[in-house]
Amino acid sequence: MTAQWQEQVSLKPYNSFGIDVNARYFTHVRDDVEVRQALAGAAAEDIPVLVVGGGSNLLLTGDVQALVMHMASRGLRVLEDDGERVVVEAEAGEPWHPFVQWALRQGFTGLENLSLIPGTVGAAPMQNIGAYGVEIKDVFAGLTALDRHSGETREFSLEDCAFAYRESVFKRSPGRWLILRVRFALHRTLQAHLEYGPVRQRLREQGIEQPTAQAISDAICAIRREKLPDPAELGNAGSFFKNPVVPMVLAERIRRDHPGLVAYPQGDDQVKLAAGWLIEQAGWKGYREGDAGVHRLQSLVLVNHGQATGAQLHALAGKIQADIHARFGVELEMEPNLY
């Protein structure tokens, strides 16, 4: 064990579910040098490594017999600015929502629809996070990652990342790539994405017909606060299940019995279904087993009412998955990473 490592550290502050488990070893890393030192120390001791940022996409099911490396790097900088298109770079440890608000204060648009998403900048490309019609891939300009196999750093282009719905090359290769910093292509002129009805409706209710990027961000923050619980008050990881993409023939079969099916055509005879709608139709909304439960307002969100363990939340998720498959023939996939 190196001098910078702590032993038997509670991870409750480092995961948004608030699961109280211990890390065998724990360290903060604030720059590339400390990242390499921590990885080298773990390799020398033959200790596995778990990298965490905001812990907003993580379900811990027991004590972590590893070195938990908390990404604490900070830094925001403008790399290019031609008066319209601006490329900004953010260190992986930067909290995501404050970064979005910083960009808006500078007059940079493009991130406003991604407001109030929990987590850190480094975790955002892992999941290709998205909300209200915008995904990371839409504003992505590149990133720098460390190859934990070779020890070399590599620059990733948009194509290299192989982004898909809540997917990326980084998620498909767990344990290999450690994202160090991410670059975003933003603009000074707003290109508003108001395809999702609730956002446009909220703006109209406020009498805003020509919204600014900040107004869009504020509207989305208000909507998210109404729909999703604050992890500081009720442990959760946001949406727990991905919206499943199914063959159109299956969607039509479900629609015959459930005319209110919420579905979005994807092309190639595929349809994306609203997982939350399926779960609510199955009667799980507001369900609770001890302190593990489904949120009373948003059935896509599993919550920790206080003392739930990760294993209990995982078991509840399994029951929901089995029920949805039995009722609708649809496989639900978890969004959070299990450890």
pLDDT digit string, tens, across residues 134-147: 999 999 999 999 99
Examine the pLDDT at 282 and tell me if it is beyond 80.
Answer: yes
- Please indicate whether residue 200 is annotated as part of the active site: no
Question: pLDDT, tens digit, for every residue of 42-64?
Answer: 999 999 999 999 999 999 999 99
With cut-offs at 50, 70 and 90, classify the pLDDT of residue 179. very high
Q: Is it the case that residue 2 has pLDDT exceeding 80?
A: no
The arithmetic mean of pLDDT across residues 24-50, rounded, is 96
In whole angstroms, what is the distance from residue 243 CA to residue 309 CA?
A: 25
Catalytic residue status for 166? yes
Strand partners of residue 67: 25, 49
Any idea of the CA torsion for 181, 338, 57, 323, to the nearest 10 degrees?
150
pLDDT reading at 30 higher than 70: yes
Q: What is the pTM of this model?
A: 0.90
Residue type, 192: A
> How many angstroms separate the CA atoms of 232 and 316, rounded?
22
Point out the catalytic residue in the list 16, 115, 217, 239: 239
pLDDT of residue 95: 97
Average pLDDT over residues 322-333: 98
Multiple choice CATH, 76-227, 3.30.465.10, 3.30.470.10, 3.30.1370.10, 1.20.1250.20: 3.30.465.10
Task: Count Cβ atoms within 10 A of the Cβ of residue 338 and give its class: 0-12 exposed, 13-18 middle, 19 or more buried.
Answer: exposed
Catalytic residue among 89, 91, 112, 335: 335
d(C-alpha 189, C-alpha 199), whole Å = 19
In this predicted structure, what is the pLDDT of residue 4?
A: 84
* Measured CA angle at 253 (ends 252, 259), to 5 deg: 70
Q: What is the dihedral of CA 28, 33, 38, 43, to 10 degrees?
A: 160
| pLDDT at residue 120 greater than cutoff 80 | yes
Phi, psi (deg, nearest 5) at residue 118: -75, 165
Mean pLDDT (the chain) is: 95
The mean pLDDT value for 70-99 works out to 98
CATH 3.90.78.10 fits 235-338, yes or no: yes
Helix (H) or strand (E) holding 315: helix 310-328
Of 24, 166, 183, 202, catalytic: 166
pLDDT score for 3 = 66
Is 335 known to be catalytic?
Answer: yes
Residue 1 reports pLDDT greater than 80: no
In this prediction, residue 336 carries a pLDDT of 93
Task: Give the rounded distance of the alpha carbon of 101 from its chain centre.
Answer: 17
Q: Where are the domains of the chain?
A: 6-71, 76-227, 235-338
| Predicted local confidence at residue 267, as pLDDT | 85
Beta strands in 106-228, from DSSP E residues, in sequence order: 130-131, 134-135, 140-147, 153-156, 177-187
CATH architecture assignment, domain 6-71: 2-Layer Sandwich (3.30)
E strand or H helix at 51: strand 49-52
The pLDDT, as a whole number, for residue 197 is: 75
Indicate the pLDDT class of residue 195, thresholds 50, 70 and 90. Answer: confident
Please state, for a pLDDT cut of 70, what percent of the chain lies above it: 99
